[in-house]
Amino acid sequence: MEQLKQELKEALIEALNLEDITPDEIEDGAPLFGAQGLGLDSIDALEIILLLERRYGIRIENPSEGKAIFYSVDTLTAYIEANRKP
């Protein structure tokens, strides 16, 4: 799980071009979206959806789940663990 979190943080930094941010600076439980977290927005959400599809073969079928899944690195990691294709 810890390895997946680290991998996910690195993938987020690369996909979203998060300048000046290292994986260590992204808190596992902190919100990814909005002013309190990393400040991501709807375009970033699209990038994350594509990241999940390309990297882990996960397709989010129900868009209403997105808010909870994308809340933090913790929630994203748990979703990937439960749904990733072998």
Partner 1 sequence: MTRQPPVYINSAASIHPPLDGVGECLPGKCLTAVEPDYKRLIPDATLRRRMSRIVRMGVAAGQACLQDAAGVSPEAILTATGMGCLADTEKFMNSLLDGDEERLTPTAFIQSTFNTVGAQLALLNGNQSYNTTYVHRTFSFESALLDALLLIREREAVDVLAGAMDEQTPTLYTVLQRLGCWKRAMAGEGAAFFLLSGRRTDGTLAILQDVELFSGDYGEQAIRERMERFLLAHDAAGARTLYPADYKRFCGEYPTAASFALWYACRELREAEGKRPVLVYNAFLDAHSFILLKPV
Query: Minimal distance in Å, beta carbon 47 to partner 1?
Result: 6
**Which spans in the chain are helix H?**
2-16, 42-56, 66-69, 73-83
Q: For residue 81, what are the contacts with CB-CB under 8 A and spacing of at least 6?
A: 1, 4
Which listed residue (41, 65, 68, 81) binds partner 1 by CB under 8 A? Answer: 41
Which listed residue (14, 53, 65, 81) binds partner 1 by CB under 8 A? Answer: 53
Q: Please identify, using beta-carbon distances, which residue of 3 and 63 lies nearer to partner 1.
A: 63
| Residue carrying the six token digits 């997105």 | 66
Query: Minimal distance in Å, beta carbon 11 to partner 1?
Result: 13
